[in-house]
Amino acid sequence: MDRTTGVDPSQWESGIVDISEMSLEELGTLPAGDESALANSLRRVAEELIDATEQIAGFNSAL
Amino acid sequence: MRHFRLADRDLGTLGAGRPSPGTLGELRKAQLSRHLLLLSEILRAETPQWYATSPSRTILADPATGLYAATAIATMRSGGRPPDRPVLVGTAPVVTVTCDDLTLRVRLEDADPLRDRLGLPPTGRLSPAEVAHWERLLSESWQLLVRRHRPAAEILSEVLRVIVPVQPDPAAHGISATSAHAYGAMAMSAPTDPVSLAVGLLHETAHSLLNATTLLFDLVRPSRTLGYSPWRDDPRPASGVLHGAYAYLAVARFWRTEAALDGSRPAQFEFARWRAAVAAAADSLLAGDGVLTAAGRRFVGALRDEVGQWLEEPVDGDVVRLAEGANLDHRVRWRLRSLRVSEASTRALVDAWQHGRPPPDLPEPEVVAGVRRLEVSGRLGLVHEWLRASDLGEEGGEETGEEAGDQAGDQAGDQAGDEAGEEAGDEAGAGPRRDGAQGDQRLPAGGGVRPGDVAWLGGEYGTGQDAYVSALENAGVRASPSEIDAALAGLALVSGRAALRERPEVVRAVWAALWPRPALDALLEWLS
């Protein structure tokens, strides 16, 4: 989730992978090599769910 | 498999509230990826009925799908089965408005059973008349945005997809909310005028943008520390302060343009007030030790640079004075409500006062977590009334009061109920009444306004100080804490004593503990 320290320091790289072009069927049949990137992405999305749920519990919260 | 990336420049323009079309495209792809990740996780557990319908890409990307997926995952985590949805997107009315070739297409989601997950109680199905009301206000708002705020309108047309109509709050003219689960959706009560709707749309869209950004990058480090937020009456975490700053950057930008176009005092006031509040909030985030990640520093730094350019832009001097006063008033009242001076600190102060010693150094007061509520500030309502009436006076009374109110859009209160509920409360209250206004025709008729408030409004600080001190020194035992706090905050506006502006909670603690009460100004001088 931080600035990339490798090839291109002018880029900020996210822990989330772009699967926007994939179908749900494809996601279910991914080879093992991709699973760690997917698993990391899912973990981050899941963490965000917990945080957001706590924050929205308040009155009229935007968070 | 590609990780999402943003060029440094793009993260900067996003932080400045001016994301490029390319950045908006990345945020949308990231949200679709999020939906797919969550849905695939649901499918690993079982195959809900909706899956057999082969939902389209458009449906998978819809904000309602994000809401559904989040709800389903939460249900599964608690041991339940994911809810099924025969149709992921229902049959709610869709409003399409176009101005100068720019289109906004919004679904008024009044049917989805999960729509209450946006955080506010939704209305039932809209009647044809209610849909027509939304359509008319959205059309008028869209014209305003496209013709006067084109860059913001272009962002809005890319982001906003769904409005969930919600029940109005009797304490506010308008309320709205956004959820991190549903990028491009917002909950909103029926709008009352196009200006407040426009600002509300911009405000909530900014929350959506920030939620989408924080999906990709951690900006704020996790912390339980709570502090001051210029838009809320309760103590907030750093993430909440950032949300407010980002949303009010959009609000300040709107009023900056409005003020430049027509020069009205209400617009100048909103601009002057929110530019200062956004800058102060950004400064507090940047100054915090370890509050922000590296990406967060880049993002907030860009936000601060953006608003920093506006700080020196000319605004009517009297309006700036009132805007600074409104921000100070809010901060002082927040400190009085949220900070608790310990008994040990109070005893040490009282002892020093009684023995003629200088005040001792004190530990930071405890922050008391508050409950979200709408607070009524008659003083701010009075400012709004005065500003509107000032403009009317200059225009020779050509407008009716009702028209002036419409154009002012009830200012901050209606725009953004989630972060500015206190302003909404101001406007929704019984309203300021003239008592001691002594013939100032810019003030509303009636009784009930504190004389100190009237003096502050008119720039008569000495008179104001006398009035507030008199009110405090003559306050009987039956005076309510809120009355005392309002008078102390008022005194902070007109007093030169730093203690009242910087540590009003200490002033109140010592003042309450001493009996007989000392002369207030002597105590303030000692504490300052």
Report the chain A residue with the minimal C-alpha distance to residue B28.
A20
pLDDT values of chain B reduced to their tens digit, one per residue, 528 residues? 899 999 999 999 999 999 999 999 999 999 999 999 999 888 888 887 777 778 889 999 999 999 999 988 888 888 888 777 655 556 899 999 999 999 999 999 999 988 998 888 999 999 999 999 999 999 999 999 999 999 999 999 999 999 999 998 877 778 888 999 999 999 999 999 999 999 999 999 999 999 999 999 999 998 889 999 998 888 999 999 999 999 999 999 999 999 999 999 999 999 999 999 999 999 999 999 899 999 999 999 999 999 999 999 999 999 999 999 999 999 999 999 999 999 999 999 999 999 999 999 988 899 987 766 656 678 888 999 999 888 877 665 443 333 333 333 333 333 333 343 333 323 222 222 333 333 444 544 444 568 899 999 999 999 999 999 998 888 766 678 888 898 999 999 999 899 999 999 999 999 989 988 889 999 999 999
Task: Tell me which of B27, B36, B75 to substitute to probe the interface with A (most A C-beta atoms closer than 10 Å).
Answer: B36
* Interchain pair B417, A60: CB under 8 A: yes
Question: Are B24 and B159 spatial neighbours (Cβ–Cβ below 8 Å)?
Answer: yes
ipTM exceeding cut-off 0.85 for this assembly: no
Please tell me the distance in Å from A9's CA to the nearest CA on chain B.
9
Residues from chain B that touch A42, judged by Cβ atoms under 8 A, are 37-38, 41
Strand order in the sheet with B185-189: B94-99, B102-108, B162-166, B185-189, B176-177
Contact residues, B window 422-441, toward A, CB-based 8 Å cutoff: none
DSSP, collapsed to helix, strand or coil, labels residue B379 as helix
Contact B216 A3 (CB under 8 A): no
Q: What residues of chain A lie within 8 A of the CB of B41, using their CB?
A: 42
Tell me the two tokens of residue B139: 């059309």
- Residue in A with minimal Cα distance to B211: A63
Contacts of A54 in chain B (CB under 8 A): none
Contact A63 B214 (CB under 8 A): no
Distances (CA, A) of B390 to A28, B382, B397, B399: 65, 12, 10, 12
**B30 interfacial to chain A (CB closer than 8 Å):** yes
**Whole-angstrom distance, CA of residue B429 vs CA of residue B420:** 15
The reply to whether residue B1 touches residue A62, judged by beta carbons under 8 angstroms, is no
Give the minimum alpha-carbon distance from A13 to chain B in angstroms, rounded to a whole number: 4
Name the residue in chain A with its Cα closest to that of B121: A60
How far A55 CA sits from the closest chain B CA (Å)? 9
CB < 8 Å from A in window 151-210 of B: 169, 175-181, 204, 207
- Min Cα distance B203 → chain A (Å) is 10
Q: Which residue of A has its CA nearest to B5?
A: A13
Q: Do A55 and B294 touch (CB under 8 A)?
A: no
Long-range contacts of B427-436 (CB under 8 A, 24+ apart): B427/B172, B427/B173, B427/B381, B427/B384, B428/B170, B428/B171, B428/B172, B428/B173, B428/B374, B428/B376, B429/B376, B429/B378, B429/B381, B431/B381, B431/B385, B432/B378, B432/B381, B432/B382, B432/B385
Is A39 at the interface with chain B, CB within 8 A? no
Q: What are phi and psi of B352, to 5 degrees?
A: -65, -40
